[in-house]
Amino acid sequence: MDDEQQDAAARPLAGLLVVDVSRHLPGPLVGRILGDLGARVLKVEEPRSGDPSRQAPPLAGGRSGLATLLLAGHESVALDLKKAPARAVLDRLLERADVLVESFRPGTLARFGLAPQDLRRRHPRLVVCSLSGWGQEGPWAQRSGHDLTYQAVAGSLASRPAMPAVPVADVAGAWSAATAVLAALYRRRRSGEGCWIDQALLDAAGHAYVTGWAGEADGPKAIGEPLPLTGALLGYGLYRTRDGGYLALAALEPKFWRAFCIAVGRRDWIPRILSRDPRLRRELSALIAGRSGEEWAALLAEHDVPGEPLLSAAEARRHPQVKARDLLRDGADGLPRLAYPALFDGRRPRAGERLPPLGADTDAVLAAFDAQPPRRRRGDGIGRRRSLLTYLRGLLLRLLTRRR
């Protein structure tokens, strides 16, 4: 397979057009996933401040690391959807779009005259993906929320009530939505019809807690009661090491626990794999505190026991396996680019390089899609950056689009 074929294999969604009017993390992450797979993503942003991720701290050189990870490679179109001319422009874009991603509170699109059911009637092939916290229906549908509250209600914080290190509802919700979009597009190949996807972040948080639901098979668990994968098992947890770090010991299966016990000279612990005796846990903690993280990593690797030192994000970037997998790289702006987490025929899809300035692609995109409003006037809701370069770029894109 030559390089061109490999590039095509790593961009299976090439030719797909996604219009993303969502905000914050989950919706833009859906666009990022589809964009990494080759789709063209038009990021519609509010003209004055843009997507809130652009202001997410920390900022480096005036740029947000989060915005760079989410929006690089997209085209920024500035439209104030509170104004009718901008909504008319959006509807024109949707005439040729395959997917619309939105994350407004349920009912907001309808107030804009863009209800998903109406969009489906006007654009039968369009896949409308609506992300919301609680879902489009139900007594909580209009309630405010964030990742933390969705996880709280889904039960996923119950066994270890502490601030989560990862926004599970947001991230799992984005991946669930992207999967649903791909399933809808596959179905469209047979039926010719798009669909309306109702993706609740609450549902995603509940789905991500699959081990928690399994842990209640023998009865309800109290808040704070550890489960097998959240601290109940001796051989599966985090322990302090001599150098002040942590060891992630994952001797979950009996064969690994046995190998660990033999490696540390404690064969008497082998039958106690399910023990909840606090004295035994203190003994194990004291044992692990006697060596550094690197010493434990070497010993456990020698005996084929899963266990690794806990790394910071900066340390993880330097890890030899992360580097070998080419998961992260720095862009020209010094901010990270995170690649798609799978390879296609040995080639990993790459995140886009360019973080578009807010509204930088408005004129070019509108010209290419014949989406100019009847006349330009102040306050029409269209954010513009006029220049000869963008005008010519728009003409070129228009010609190329018409040839497709």
- What amino acid positions are annotated as catalytic residues? 170
Return the number of other C-beta atoms located less than 10 Å from residue 361's C-beta: 23
Cα 391 to Cα 363: distance, rounded to the nearest angstrom:
7
Residue 121 has φ and ψ, to the nearest 5°, of -70, -40
Q: Which SS3 state, helix, strand or coil, does residue 17 take?
A: strand
What is the DSSP pairing of strand 336-338 with strand 328-330? Answer: antiparallel
CA separation, residue 46 to residues 8, 278, 383 (Å):
33, 55, 8
Burial of 239-257, coded b for 16+ CB within 10 Å and e otherwise, reads bebeeebbbbbbbeeeebb
Return the number of other C-beta atoms located less than 10 Å from residue 43's C-beta: 27
Both tokens assigned to 165: 């290190």
CA separation, residue 231 to residues 160, 164, 235, 274, 286 (Å):
8, 15, 9, 11, 17
Cα 9 to Cα 348: distance, rounded to the nearest angstrom:
9
Cα 101 to Cα 129: distance, rounded to the nearest angstrom:
5
Q: Which residue has the tokens 């040729």?
A: 96
